[in-house]
Chains A and B, each alone.
Chain A
């Protein structure tokens, strides 16, 4: 696991904080008339982005592009399944 440069880590941390804040805002908007299905999709997308940042910057997969692509693909597919299960009752 190669240690990322501190500024890279700080950027990753800031991005994670920002994405988490955005998730909270989107989730809160559901109670104020925002479509829950759209909000759910956005929340899961933001979670996927956060997972990608942790894998890439914190766990060092930025130095292993093939593995990073593999993890991203599997996580992306998983989030699509989760979104499908979430939306199913609304169909």
Chain B
């Protein structure tokens, strides 16, 4: 009789392994993008600071609160579903999705303001990165809302766990992106 093999480190990871592969991949992609942003900034720090002054920090800070709260609701939804409270879980997920939509509205207003000022991606290299990084993040928010709506419908514990993890990844990326793009003058 062979001895049982020791548990793998991978077994310790909470949830599905593939969502962690996705989380790490996304962190690497955004991490590379933000590092490139900071590297290009070295060539024109005053130009980057001037360009950054056109951003709406208050709106972006508000969006941080919105996403953090949305993530809290997604985490609560999993807790509720594991306790068998399906209605409460769906309600929490609906709240998370609505806050995701609020994030998009605020971001849309920010983009509209830039357009009104005649600012486009080729106005300055800062804005190329700004649109690239925040736009890619917005795409993840949209995908996250769709995922949350899907797991509201197919509300098994595993599905909600996966959907919430995707949403937390979107949250995680934003808390790293926001200070580097909006706050580091």
Q: Which residues of A contact B31 (CB under 8 A)?
A: 78
Query: Which of B9, B12, B169, B184 counts the most A-chain CB atoms under 10 A from its CB?
Result: B184
Give the residue of B9, B165, B172 whose beta carbon is less than 8 angstroms from that of A51. B172
State the interface size on chain B (CB cutoff 8 A): 44
Q: State in angstroms the CA–CA spacing of A24 and B59 once bound together.
A: 11
User: CB-CB < 8 A to B176: which residues of A?
Assistant: 47, 51
Residues of A within 8 A of B106 (CB): none
Asked whether any CB of chain A lies closer than 8 Å to the CB of B82, the reply is yes
Pairwise interchain contact A59-B168, C-beta atoms closer than 8 A = yes
Query: What 1/0 flags go to B173-185 for Cβ under 8 Å of A?
Result: 0011011101111
Whether B179 and A43, one on each chain, are in contact in the complex, defined by CB atoms closer than 8 angstroms, is yes
* Structural contact, B15 and A60, CB atoms closer than 8 A: yes
Are A86 and B172 touching (Cβ within 8 A)?
A: no
Are A82 and B38 in contact, with the CB atoms below 8 A?
yes
Within 8 A of A (CB), among B30-47: 31, 34-35, 38-39, 41-42, 45
State whether B79 touches A5 (Cβ < 8 A).
yes
Bound CA span A81–B48, Å: 19
In whole angstroms, how far apart are the Cα atoms of A23 and B79 in the complex?
29
CA separation between A76 and B178, bound complex, in Å?
17
State whether B61 touches A20 (Cβ < 8 A).
yes
Compute how far the CA of A27 lies from the CA of B180 in the bound complex, rounded to whole angstroms: 11
List, in ascending order, chain A residues with CB within 8 A of B175's CB.
16, 20, 47, 50-51, 54
B133 at the interface (CB under 8 A from A): no
**C-alpha spacing A59/B31, complex, angstroms:** 19
Chain B contacts of A61 at CB under 8 A? Answer: 14
Chain A proximity of B82: nearest CB distance (Å): 5
Interface residues of B (CB under 8 A from A): 9, 12-15, 23, 31, 34-35, 38-39, 41-42, 45, 57, 61, 64-65, 68-69, 71-72, 74-76, 78-79, 82, 161, 164-165, 168-169, 171-172, 175-176, 178-180, 182-185
